[in-house]
Structure 1
Amino acid sequence: MKRQFISRIKWLLIVPAILLFVHCSGPKRVKFPIPVDTKNKPIDLQIKKSYAFEDLGVWVSNEFDGARLNGAQKLNDSTIILRFEPENTPINKSPYYGFKVWSDSPKQTYFLFDYPEGFDHRYKPKRKEDGKWSEIDSLDLAETESGMILKLNLSREPIIVAGQEINNSKDVQEWYREDVVGNRDFVREGSVGQTELGRNIPVLDIYHGNVTGKPIIVLMTRQHPPEVTGYFAFQNFLTTLVDQSELSTQFLNKYRVLVFPIMNPDGVDLGHWRHNANGVDLNRDWSKYRQPEIKNVVGHLLRTSKESMGEIILGLDFHSTYEDVFYTNEIREGTSLPHFIDDWFELLEQNIAGYKVNEAASNSTRPVSKGWFLYGHNAVGITYEIGDHTPRERIAEIGATSAQAMMNVLLENK
């Protein structure tokens, strides 16, 4: 009995030590002035189904990745009410929607958008027909006391309507494999792990020659699912980095770029307004890494930096908001690139006709990525935001030119 008692005491002492070791062996946490609770929160999954209105000869469906539709009911002989709800609350007031609609014969049908109380319409609807996206004519939209009403001319050919062009995890994978990886042996596709629902979190590792000691630049996007205008800028930025021009070749001889083309594939495919499958805003988890997406990405960045003896010097996180803006940290002196932001913005204004950089500088108080780069690595962190309604051609120009400017500034950096 005495031996059993001693054995149990030893075990009770060992277990906490093991747990402490496991806890401490994870990625190093970064402190922020204002902590945010990023523990798992319940979500409401939309029911995947096709809503049949046979007396109208109309069908509405959310049975595809990236859709968002929580209910549909007939209002009258020409109008269907569509219900859109967030995955959970509290959440930002930016309702997202995505649905497919068709009819048994050509007809005009109206759709009334119904959001929960306190949520107003944000995204101008886009339509995908014959494989192409376009903006819906403003003449087919009407703001009423009951909400936004959309008029559509339907046929047997389905139309997809969404707040922004849908780019789900499969679309993203097809894009980077074709337009970024391709036959480029200097672009290496990998994975940092899986999400809560088992989706892949991809990473692209880009450099020429010997990797040892190369400074590291980090690019990421789609922490927030509907923010696709930032993703479009990211696409043009990244394809410019790998275009095999003289500038690109010189740059990748000196620097290494780690790229995360879809940070929140669960949220994207589930049609979430903002959060991941655990109901959490990933861009508030850059302190304690409670969510698998951030934990896996941070772990990969830290291991890669240590193994290659490459310092993380710059992080760009691509998002979308109401207007084009760069969120920066005020702390510059003493960082890895104290003059980068000013030099970069100066080149942007020189090389884009009529362009004026909209900068909002403040040191991160909550656990966001740009603060993680600053407080955790003394690196430059920037949240790169593109406006919801910035013209697509302008987005392409800004994305490509900002990549060229970044490469030029960093090549001049000694």
Structure 2
Amino acid sequence: MKFQFKYIVFSIVIFLFFKCNSVKRVPFENIVDTNSKKITLQDKKVFSIEKEVFASNKFNGARLSDFFKENDSLFTAFVEPENTPINNSAYYSFKLWSSQPKTIYVKFTYPKGFKHRYVPKLKRNSENWKSLDSSLIYKRDSLFIMKLDLSKDTTWVSAQEVVTVKDTEKWYKTLIRSKNYVHLKSVGKTKLGRNLPVLDIFKGTKENKPIVVLLTRQHPPEVTGFFAYQEFLKSILKENNLTETFFTKYRVLAFPIVNPDGVDLGHWRHNANGVDTNRDWSQYRQSEIKQIVRFILKESKKFKSKIVLGLDFHSTYEDVFYTNKIKEGTVFPDFIKSWFAALEKEIPNYKVNEKPGNSKKPVSKGWFLYGHNAVGITYEIGDETPRERIKLIGKVTAEEMMKVLNKY
């Protein structure tokens, strides 16, 4: 009898534990396997070529698998992804220097089936990042070679500007300093123990306030989307009548780095478990998405707040907004139409590139639609969109979003 009672109590405890820790799944038409997969870690080292030319991947965000000499002036940078299958967007990042001034040519090579995507970005000393001049690039079919002048000073060569976890933390902590209505929290830790931060932004009460969710850096190299995200967040945190009205009505949950492990590991796309986090918005097998979703749902339930809009900032070959075709019956069926019209009006020489399609794979924009009847948008910025142009786009998209939402 005593054993039966203990068994019943134990069963109840286990049931309550799993009930409290379970997260509502969202069904999608096409299921993606997001179980953890093995990754190949880089061998962090300095590649010394005859003690004359040096290459290094010994920094956060680096990606270089091998570096070797072909002839007196031609060198090969070989880059492998963290695992496969993976998208064909080869990311690389390394440092170069030489014992004496020397002009070299660097050929980029990848495993079979992969090709070069990004125009190299360079940085020397305290200079800002800049794209390599096209006159110093030789490209034909799958062959990509760049010409560089080296010296004892380090030259950073990267597919995109390097923005590490530490850089990101410094940015958002500086941004929210002295803003007492922005509450910095943690939703948990990644596999490698890195923090998953969220900026909980509201004024007054949280009760019954509709929630807007902002996500970025699911895919590590996609920094142009992150640059737009930075300007977007900066704009909604300005002190003016527009933002004051907005925060009397809405609450924002901003996640400034969804995949910190992948960022610092220099991954092409995946997290430390070898999984694309933007395919895990159904089963939540990865800790990053599970903890973010759990936090959003907990806050929504606790304060009786609807999730009304989700923007997920990414990068691709061109500026584009991926939207859901389903709009009728959603929380704000006219939001996208009104928002896009305002962007074309307020941004000089700007034409919205919208690609609508209902999410079949478990991505974030589909999670917002199917799970919450909310507007979900994947907000993409082109790899080579001018950085000053990105700032303008980020600023105006934030301002016009607030103007449209303030009318509801």
- TM-score range, shorter-chain basis? over 0.9
Amino acid at match of 2:94: F
C-alpha deviations, 1:121-160, integer Å up to 9, x for none? 1000001112311111111111256721111111111111
Q: Which residue is equivalent to 2:319?
A: 324
Residue identity over aligned pairs, in percent, reads: 54
Say whether residues 1:389 and 2:403 are aligned partners: no
Counterpart residue type for residue 157 of structure 2: V
CA distance in 1, matches of 2:250, 2:142: 54
2:59 aligned partner: 64
Q: Following TM superposition, by how much is the alpha carbon of 1:259 offset from its aligned partner in structure 2, in angstroms? A: 0.3
Q: Paired residue for 2:131? A: 135
Tell me, yes or no, if the aligned pair for 2:212 and 2:250 is still in contact at 8 Å. yes
Distance in 1 of aligned mates of 2:13 and 2:221: 41
In 1: Cα distance, 2:45 partner to 2:235 partner = 40
1:375 and 2:380 aligned: no
Q: In structure 2, what residue type is equivalent to 1:346?
A: A
Say if 2:172 is the partner of 1:176: yes
What TM-score results when the alignment is normalised by the length of structure 2?
A: 0.96
Cα gap change, 1:272/1:329 in structure 2, threshold over 3 Å: closer, same or farther?
Answer: same
Q: Look up the SS of the partner of 1:76 in the other structure.
A: coil
Matched, 1:109 2:128: no
Amino acid at match of 2:49: F
> What corresponds to 2:231 in structure 1?
236
The answer to whether structure 1 residue 154 and structure 2 residue 154 are counterparts is no
Give a deviation string over 1:77-128, Cα, whole Å, max 9, x none: 2122111001011100000000011111111111111111111110000011
Aligned equivalent of 1:259: 254
**How many pairs does the alignment contain?**
406
CA separation of 1:391 and 1:64: change in aligned 2, threshold 3 A:
same
Equivalent of 1:246 in 228, 233, 241: 241
The amino acid of 2:136's aligned partner reads D
C-alpha separation in 1, matches of 2:381 and 2:199: 23
Out of 232, 242, 263, the position equivalent to 1:268 is: 263
Match of 2:45 in 1: 49
Runs of at least 4 residues of structure 1 off by over 2 A?
6-11, 13-25, 144-147
Q: CA deviation at 1:19?
A: 5.6
Residue 195 (structure 2) pairs with residue 204 (structure 1): no
CA drift of 1:22 comes to 4.2
Structure 1 counterpart of 2:334: 339
Counterpart of 1:303? 298
**Residue 119 of structure 1 aligns to which amino acid in structure 2?**
F
Rate the CA distance shift 1:80–1:332 in 2: closer, same or farther, 3 A.
same
Amino acid at match of 1:293: E
Pick the aligned partner of 2:75 from 58, 62, 80. 80
> Could you tell me how far apart the structure 2 residues matched to 1:253 and 1:372 are?
26
> What SS does structure 1 have at the residue aligned with 2:369?
helix
Q: In the aligned structure 2, how far is the partner of 1:195 from the partner of 1:16?
A: 30
The CA distance in 1 between the partners of 2:38 and 2:193, in whole Å, is 18
Report the more deviating stretch, 146-155 or 318-327. 146-155
Could you tell me whether the CA contact under 8 Å between 2:25 and 2:283 is conserved in 1? yes
Distance in 1 (alpha carbons) for counterparts of 2:333 and 2:140: 51
- The CA distance in 1 between the partners of 2:9 and 2:139, in whole Å, is 65
Question: Who is 1:349 aligned against?
Answer: 344
1:230-256 C-alpha deviation (Å, 9 max, x unpaired): 111111111000011221121112111
Give SS of 2:167's match.
helix
Q: Secondary structure at the match of 2:112?
A: coil
- My pick for the range that moved more, 301-310 or 277-286, is 301-310
Give deviations 1:257-286, integer Å, cap 9, x for gaps.
000000000000000000000000000000
Counterpart of 2:333 in structure 1: which amino acid? P
CA distance in structure 2 between the partners assigned to 1:17 and 1:389 by the alignment: 56
The worse-fitting range, judged by mean Cα deviation, of 93-102 and 304-313 is: 304-313
Long gaps (5+) in structure 1: none
Structure 2 unaligned segments of length 5 or more: list them. none
| Cα separation, 2, equivalents of 1:146 and 1:288 | 37
Change in CA separation of 1:254 and 1:8 when aligned onto 2, cut-off 3 Å: closer
- The alpha-carbon distance between structure 1 residues 8 and 125, as it changes in their structure 2 partners (threshold 3 A), is farther
Is the 2:322–2:354 Cα contact (8 Å) retained in structure 1?
yes
Work out whether 1:277 is the aligned partner of 2:257. Answer: no
Instruction: Tell me the distance in 2 between the aligned counterparts of 1:14 and 1:361.
Output: 51
Greater shift in the superposed pair: 141-150 or 255-264: 141-150
SS at 1:269 equivalent:
helix
Worse overlay, 147-156 or 166-175: 147-156
TM-score, normalised relative to structure 1:
0.94
Q: Deviations over 1:382-411 (max 9, x none)?
A: 000111111111111111101010000000
Post-superposition offset of 1:212: 1.4
2:17 corresponds to 1:39: no
CA pair 329-145 structure 1, distance change in 2 beyond 3 A: closer
- Structure 1: distance between partners of 2:381 and 2:391: 11
- Residues 364 and 376 in structure 2, CA contact (< 8 A), matched pair in contact too: yes
Which residue, out of 202, 215, 228, partners 2:210?
215
Offset, 1:227: 0.5
